Amino acid sequence: MFGNWLKTSILMAGIVALFGVVGGAIGGQQGMLIALLLGGGMNLWAYWFSDKMVLKMYKARQVDASSSPYLYNMVRELAQRANLPMPKVYVIDEAQPNAFATGRNPDNAAVAATSGIMRLLSERELRGVMAHELAHVKNRDILISTISATVAGAISSLAQFGMFFGGRDGENRPNPVVAIIIMIMAPIAGMLIQMAISRTREFGADRGGAEISGDPEALANALAKMEAYSKGIPMETAEAHPETAQMMIVNPLSGGGLRGLFSTHPATQERIAKLRAMR
């Protein structure tokens, strides 16, 4: 748990520093000060509200025991097994089979599953997937995951702002060199921050999910199915906001062009092999 808090602190400090560098390039000392204040404010906002933003982005609808007893009761039983507070449960009306967890801590957590995953997987396999998401909650991965998704999008927006207002030359015209540097470096920095925190967490959540459900083979089978089906079923929201891809249990992106840089998941076959070795 301490490791994740340390990573979160480093991430937040990096965000503020990056905002300061871009602000300085755009508007000198005054621009740096304004950008530092914006970076600090964004950290506070992301801590409290980034989970709600991501759920709204995916048009997730909250369900309960009456509206979706199958999924809700499954999550409740697994949360009890994991000694976790009952998280909020959401359904996303997307055909691609996928799921994610979000929130700032176990007391304010949410898990979301697509309608596609509930159609594709057996009950046993779906239990494995939801146990994986609860393992993210238990390991306290969800805060840094949600914040990084939110801030990476903001960093890209900041870079676009810098492209248009990136420094001034002697005649008070936009400096194209500064603009190009900001446009290239800021999104790369955001992606590096994400990739540094994302890959190893999936192995930990796979192991934790297998322990919670008591069925590593079910999660392995679920991953194999999702990997096969997700590539042929695009998820438009993830394609439009690739910074959120690292929250999903399997990579939802097509992988073409720059989107491939947001592929923060380890190889699915390697994850499956590790799960089957647990039998």
Please name the amino acid found at residue 67.
Answer: S
User: Rounded to an integer, what distance in angstroms lies between the CA atom of residue 127 and that of residue 130?
Assistant: 5
Read off the pLDDT of residues 93-133 as tens digits, 9 standing for 90 and up: 999 999 999 998 999 999 999 999 999 999 999 999 999 99
Number of domains the chain is built from: 1
Contact 80, 134 (CB under 8 A): no
Does 202 participate in catalysis according to the annotation?
no
Domain that residue 14 falls in: 2-277
pLDDT of residue 265: 82
Q: Coil, strand, or helix at residue 103?
A: strand
Catalytic option among 94, 125, 133, 227: 133
What tens-digit pLDDT sequence spans the chain (279 residues)?
A: 555 556 666 666 666 677 676 666 666 677 677 766 776 676 666 667 778 989 999 999 999 999 999 999 999 999 999 999 999 999 999 999 999 999 989 999 999 999 999 999 999 999 999 999 999 999 888 877 777 766 666 666 665 555 555 544 455 555 566 666 666 665 666 565 565 555 678 999 999 999 999 999 999 999 999 999 988 899 999 988 887 888 899 999 876 555 555 556 888 999 999 999 997
* Residue 194 CB coordination number (10 Å): 25
User: Rounded to an integer, what distance in angstroms lies between the CA atom of residue 11 and that of residue 44?
Assistant: 13
Contact 269, 117 (CB under 8 A): no
Q: Residue 274 contacts by C-beta under 8 Å, 6 or more apart in sequence?
A: 203, 206, 207
Which of 271, 50, 18 is CA-nearest to residue 149? 50
User: Rounded to an integer, what distance in angstroms lies between the CA atom of residue 58 and that of residue 81?
Assistant: 28
User: Rounded to an integer, what distance in angstroms lies between the CA atom of residue 242 and that of residue 201?
Assistant: 18
pLDDT of residue 70: 97
